[in-house]
Amino acid sequence: MARLKFLCDSDRCIECNACVTACKNEHEVPWGINRRRVVTLNDGKPGERSISMACMHCTDAPCAAVCPTSCFYGTADALVLHDKDLCIGCGYCFYACPFGAPQYPRVGNFGGRGKMDKCTYCAGGPQQDNTAVEYMQYGSNRIAEGKLPLCAEMCSTKALLAGDGEIIAAIYRERVQQRGFGSGAWGWRTAYKQELTV
């Protein structure tokens, strides 16, 4: 069975933020919540590189381990999803996550921390697939539609890969062989306990 992963080819990423706005568009994510972000290292200097980051859907996800209400669950596709009905907005998962993925909307008059939101790998949540209520709580469910995350599908330079971990690793290897360089699959060791060897 396929293990779904993300891989950002930082030798391609140009920090255009298509991935970010595609995500906003697909799920109508409100202002202030960013399921995906692009981080630039060495901004403005030789060696400048950008990486598009979101929840990596880790193996043995640390967020799930610390959640006091056990709202996380893993799917057969190896996605890490969660149930907002159980979430109490405690913020533990944010501290546990190595990628800073969990986000909390400010709610109420005093801007208290609302229920956690994060990248769903465009796979919705624990409501029936593609129902209105699933959309309300988690956004759309492209995986159930036979598609892939829109952020990767729309990436301007084909830097952001998503899908079957084996296939995207093969695509990346092919690229590195063709061009003769590659700075590696960023975040893979942390998320998937594995390096990508070329």
Partner 1 sequence: MRDNPDGKAQARRRFLGTLGFAAVAAPAAAFEADGGTGGLPPRKETEAERRAPRYRETDHVRAFYRTNRY
Partner 2 sequence: MLTRRSAGQAGRQRLAAAYQGLASGGTDRREFLRQAGLGGVGLAALGTLGTQVARAQVAHTVPDRAVPARRIKNVCTHCSVGCSVIAEVQNGVWTGQEPAWESPINRGTHCAKGASVREIVHGDRRLKYPMKLAGGQWQRLSWDQALDEISEKLLQIREKSSPEAVFWLGSAKFTNEAAYLFRKFGAFWGTNNIDHQARICHSTTVAGVANTFGYGAQTNSYNDIRNSKTMIVMGGNPAESHPIATQHLLAGRELNRSNFFVVDPRFTRTAAHATDYVRIRPGTDIPVIWGMLWHIFENGWEDKEFIRQRVYGMDEVRREVTKWNPEEVLRVTGVPEAQIKRMAQVFATQKPATLIWCMGATQKTVGTANVRAFSILCMATGNVGSAGTGCNIFRGHTNVQGATDLGLDIATLPAYYGLDEAAWRHWCRVWQVDYEWMQGRFASKKLMETPGIPSTRWFDAVVLPRDQVDQPSNFKAMFVMGHGGNTVTRMPEMVKALEKLDLLVVCDPHPTTYAQVSDRQDGTYLLPICTNFETVGSRTASNRSLQWGEKIVEPIFESRNDYDVMYALAKRLGFADELFKNIGVKDGVVVVEDILREINRGTWALGYTGQSPERLRLHMANQQHFDITTLRGAKGTPVEGEVYGLPWPCWGTPEMKHPGTHILYDNSLHVKEGGGTFRARFGVERNGETLLAEGSYSKGSEIQDGYPEFTVAVLKRLGWFDDLSAHEKEIIGRVGGENIDRVSWSTDLSGGIIRVAMDHGCLPYGNAKARALAWNLPDPVPMHREPLYTPRTDLIPSLDQAAVLAADPNAPAPAGTYPALRDRRGFRMPHLGLTVQMRSHTVAREFPIILTSGRLVEYEGGGEETRSNKWLAELQQDMFVEINPADAAERGIRNAQYVWVLGPENDARVKVKAMITERVGKGVAFMPFHFGGWFQGEDRRRFYPPGTDPVVLGESVNTVTTYGYDPVTFMQETKVTLCQIRSA
**Where in 55-114 is the site for ligand SF4 (CB under 6 A)?**
none
Helix (H) or strand (E) holding 132, with range, is: helix 132-138
CA distance 41 to 160: 17
Contact 169, 182 (CB under 8 A): no
- Encode 35-69: b = buried (16+ Cβ within 10 Å), e = exposed: bbbbbeeeeeeeeeebbbbbbbbbeebbbbeebee
**Where in 117-176 is the site for partner 1 (CB under 8 A)?**
117, 123, 126-137, 139-141, 143-148, 152-153, 158, 161-164, 167-168, 171, 174
Minimum CB distance to partner 1, residue 38 (Å) = 19
x/- mask, partner 1, residues 170-189, rule CB under 8 A, reads -x--x---x-----------
Q: Among 40-48, 71-79, 180-188, 189-197, which window interacts with partner 1 (CB under 8 A)?
A: 71-79
Q: Among 40-48, 127-135, 143-151, 186-194, which window interacts with ligand SF4 (CB under 6 A)?
A: 143-151
